[in-house]
């Protein structure tokens, strides 16, 4: 597929403008809620699909229409593309919004929507297919003059070839298995004298892991930042950058905290990143919302990573610093309208953070913590936005992504945003399950985080070193002991008044739920 063919596809759609009246959301959780809210703001009917496990979920409660799509496992429900398209036709939905994950970056699904006459809210199937391939997208970006991590994908026949390639690129370099993935067959080489032994080792490791000893050489970027650019493209051929998001705080390549703007991107670098992202998008005739990801090294050089052809989890921080509703923009583009004036020449205003709240215990190896949310209080007040997929009483199931909600914080500057983050985390209460909240409280006590000294390995390094445990400051141990004693006294009095059947072992939370119901407070 050539870029000119893709561009002409986009242009041919330019004269079609239609009003979308109903959208089927092929997703769940917080993003389904976010899209529903966007639709309501536009006066568009929102329908959702739900699996058996999600019948009582928040999106179903907020939707105008809700349709069961199958059993809990995703492959039997949220991944049933054909059934979802069939449903969209039956209920008269003009468009399908895929959210992120599930079917969002599935070119076949986007094509099937198009074939069925249902608008897929996202880029063209061709763009999704090309950008979904690491090899093809890298080649395309090189052709378009977008900087990529230096190095060749061609296997090195011998040590001499490796030496030539490494000298050309400049040390440090990385040797990678051509058939590889997951870190196997990868060797970092910092100087020429280490190359020979590393080359031998990488080859034998590649052979052992993948049955193929082919390795190639790539520039090793030391402690880079993850910087990504939000783009929008319309069917008239306009493509704009809405500025960057810094997503360097990652745990095992999973984003945890994001912010906009980046503490290190100035307006000149922002302009250059934006131009590169727009170039990348133009190479495939990109339409709708997308994100171009880059690695940024310490010297300020940046390298193309990949394009995410969908609405990103962390899109709200861009919304807060630009004032642009990205879901509304997606709908307008899907209707065939040109980008509004507010999308051009955007400069960030203020500072925003996003904290992803996962149902995981950060101090038990991030073990999943499903269960019933017994108590929930979201933070409120100036600068706080909560995008949640759960409510008090929700059951967090074991079937899906453990992200419960996103806490999004805005301030006039980074300092104010950090202060508000601290206040929000203090107000936040989620009980009944463990979440990653304590980790974020600890981050606020971390100097590197507070000063914006970030790189993509930082969080893993600190966690491995046993750092990022919240301090004991502000602990009120006396008060806790007294509270427990009063509870013990009340429990004893209740048992004396109304002896309970003494069963075998009882689960702690069930026990406390029972006690809560005895107190006949909220759920009785």
Partner 1 sequence: MELVVTHGERQETLQLRQTAYGYEVELGERRYAVDAKEVEGGQHSLILRPLEANGESSQAVAQQAQVSVHSLGGGQFEVVDDSPLPYRCQVADPLTHLAQESRGGSGSSGRRQVTAYMPGRVVTLLVSEGDQVEEGQGILVLEAMKMENEIPAESSGVVSRLLVECGQAVDNGDPLFEVE
* Six token digits for residue 323: 């004032």
Closest CA relative to residue 111, chosen from 122, 165, 213 = 122
Assess 208 for contact with partner 1 (CB under 8 A).
Answer: no
Q: Which is nearer to partner 1, 89 or 506 (CB)?
A: 506
- Measured CA to CA, the distance from residue 406 to residue 356 in angstroms comes to 5
Task: Work out how close the CB of 104 gets to partner 1 at its nearest, in angstroms, rounded to a whole number.
Answer: 19
Task: Work out how close the CB of 58 gets to partner 1 at its nearest, in angstroms, rounded to a whole number.
Answer: 18
Burial class (CB in 10 A: 0-12, 13-18, 19+), 488: exposed
* Six token digits for residue 472: 């004991």
Judged by CB under 8 A, which of 115, 487, 495, 500 binds partner 1?
487
Catalytic residue status for 310: yes
Task: Work out how close the CB of 426 gets to partner 1 at its nearest, in angstroms, rounded to a whole number.
Answer: 5
CA distances in angstroms from 233 to 107, 138, 277, 309, 333, listed in the order given: 18, 20, 11, 11, 8
Assess 500 for contact with partner 1 (CB under 8 A).
Answer: no
Judged by CB under 8 A, which of 460, 486, 495, 500 binds partner 1?
486
Assess 476 for contact with partner 1 (CB under 8 A).
Answer: yes
Beta bridge partners of 244: 229
Beta bridge partners of 356: 406
Quick note: the x/- pattern for partner 1 over 340-369, rule CB under 8 A, is -------------------x-x-xxx-xxx
Q: Which is nearer to partner 1, 61 or 483 (CB)?
A: 483
Judged by CB under 8 A, which of 89, 298, 415, 488 binds partner 1?
488
CA distances in angstroms from 199 to 185, 204, 205, 301, listed in the order given: 10, 9, 10, 27
CB of 60 within 8 A of CB of 54?
yes
Judged by CB under 8 A, which of 68, 370, 422, 457 binds partner 1?
370
Task: Work out how close the CB of 475 gets to partner 1 at its nearest, in angstroms, rounded to a whole number.
Answer: 5
Assess 442 for contact with partner 1 (CB under 8 A).
Answer: yes
Helices 134-143, 125-132: crossing angle, 10 deg rounding: 100
Q: Which is nearer to partner 1, 476 or 498 (CB)?
A: 476
Which residues, 378 to 437, sit near partner 1 by CB under 8 A? 392, 398-400, 402, 426, 429, 431, 434, 437
Q: Which is nearer to partner 1, 64 or 445 (CB)?
A: 445
Task: Work out how close the CB of 463 gets to partner 1 at its nearest, in angstroms, rounded to a whole number.
Answer: 15
Judged by CB under 8 A, which of 108, 485, 495, 500 binds partner 1?
485
Size of the site for partner 1 (CB under 8 A): 57
Assess 479 for contact with partner 1 (CB under 8 A).
Answer: yes
Task: Work out how close the CB of 398 gets to partner 1 at its nearest, in angstroms, rounded to a whole number.
Answer: 5
Burial class (CB in 10 A: 0-12, 13-18, 19+), 111: middle
How many Cβ atoms are within 10 Å of 22's Cβ, its own excluded?
Answer: 17
402-421 b/e with 16+ CB inside 10 Å = b?
bbbbbbbbbbeebebbbebb
CB of 374 within 8 A of CB of 513?
yes
How far is CA 226 from its chain centroid? Answer: 13
Options 45, 80, 270, 310, the catalytic residue? 310
Positions marked active-site? 310
Positions that interact with partner 1 (CB under 8 A): 359, 361, 363-365, 367-371, 374-375, 377, 392, 398-400, 402, 426, 429, 431, 434, 437-438, 441-442, 470, 474-489, 491, 505-512, 515-516, 519, 521-522
């Amino acid at each position: 597929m050539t870029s000119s063919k893709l561009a002409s596809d986009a242009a041919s759609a330019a004269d079609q403008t239609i009003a979308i009246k109903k959208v089927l959301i092929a997703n769940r959780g917080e993003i389904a809620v976010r899209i529903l809210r966007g639709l309501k703001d536009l006066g568009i009917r929102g329908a959702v699909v739900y699996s058996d496990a999600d019948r009582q979920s928040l999106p179903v409660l907020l939707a105008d229409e809700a349709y069961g799509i199958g059993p809990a496992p995703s492959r039997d429900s949220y991944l049933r593309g054909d059934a979802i398209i069939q449903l969209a036709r039956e209920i008269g939905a003009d468009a399908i919004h895929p959210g992120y994950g599930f079917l969002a970056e599935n070119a076949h699904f986007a094509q099937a929507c198009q074939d069925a006459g249902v608008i897929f809210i996202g880029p063209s199937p061709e763009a999704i297919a090309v950008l979904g391939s690491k090899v093809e997208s890298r080649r395309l970006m090189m052709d378009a003059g977008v900087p990529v991590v230096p190095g060749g994908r061609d296997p090195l026949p011998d040590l001499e070839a490796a030496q030539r390639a490494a000298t050309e690129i400049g040390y440090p370099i990385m040797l990678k298995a051509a058939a590889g993935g997951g870190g196997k067959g990868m060797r970092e080489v910092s100087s020429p004298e280490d190359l020979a032994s590393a080359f031998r080792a990488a080859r034998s490791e590649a052979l052992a892991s993948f049955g193929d000893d082919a390795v190639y050489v790539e520039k090793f970027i030391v402690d880079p930042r993850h910087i990504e650019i939000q783009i929008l493209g319309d069917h008239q051929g306009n493509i704009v950058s809405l500025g960057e998001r810094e997503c360097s705080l990652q745990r095992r390549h999973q984003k945890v905290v994001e912010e906009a703007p980046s503490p290190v991107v100035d307006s000149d670098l922002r302009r250059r990143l934006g131009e590169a992202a727009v170039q990348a998008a133009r190479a495939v005739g990109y339409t709708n919302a997308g994100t171009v990801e880059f690695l940024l090294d310490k010297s300020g050089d940046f390298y193309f990573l990949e394009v995410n052809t969908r609405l990103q989890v962390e899109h709200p921080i861009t919304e807060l610093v630009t004032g642009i509703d990205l879901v509304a923009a997606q709908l307008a583009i899907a209707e065939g309208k040109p980008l509004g004036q507010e999308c051009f020449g955007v400069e960030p205003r203020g500072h925003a953070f996003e904290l992803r709240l996962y149902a995981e215990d950060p101090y038990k190896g991030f073990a999943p913590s499903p269960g019933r949310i017994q108590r929930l209080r979201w933070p409120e007040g100036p600068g706080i936005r909560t995008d949640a997929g759960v409510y008090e009483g929700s059951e967090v199931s074991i079937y899906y992504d453990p992200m419960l909600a996103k806490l999004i914080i805005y301030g006039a500057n980074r300092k104010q945003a950090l202060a508000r983050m601290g206040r929000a985390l203090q107000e936040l209460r989620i009980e009944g399950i463990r979440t990653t909240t304590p980790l974020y409280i600890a981050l606020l006590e971390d100097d590197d985080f507070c000063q914006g000294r970030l790189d993509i390995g930082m969080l893993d390094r600190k966690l491995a070193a046993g750092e990022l445990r919240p301090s004991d400051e502000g602990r009120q141990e006396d008060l806790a002991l007294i509270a427990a004693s009063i509870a013990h006294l009340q429990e004893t009095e209740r048992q004396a008044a109304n002896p309970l059947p003494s069963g075998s072992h009882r689960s702690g939370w069930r026990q406390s739920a029972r006690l809560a119901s005895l107190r006949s407070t909220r759920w009785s």
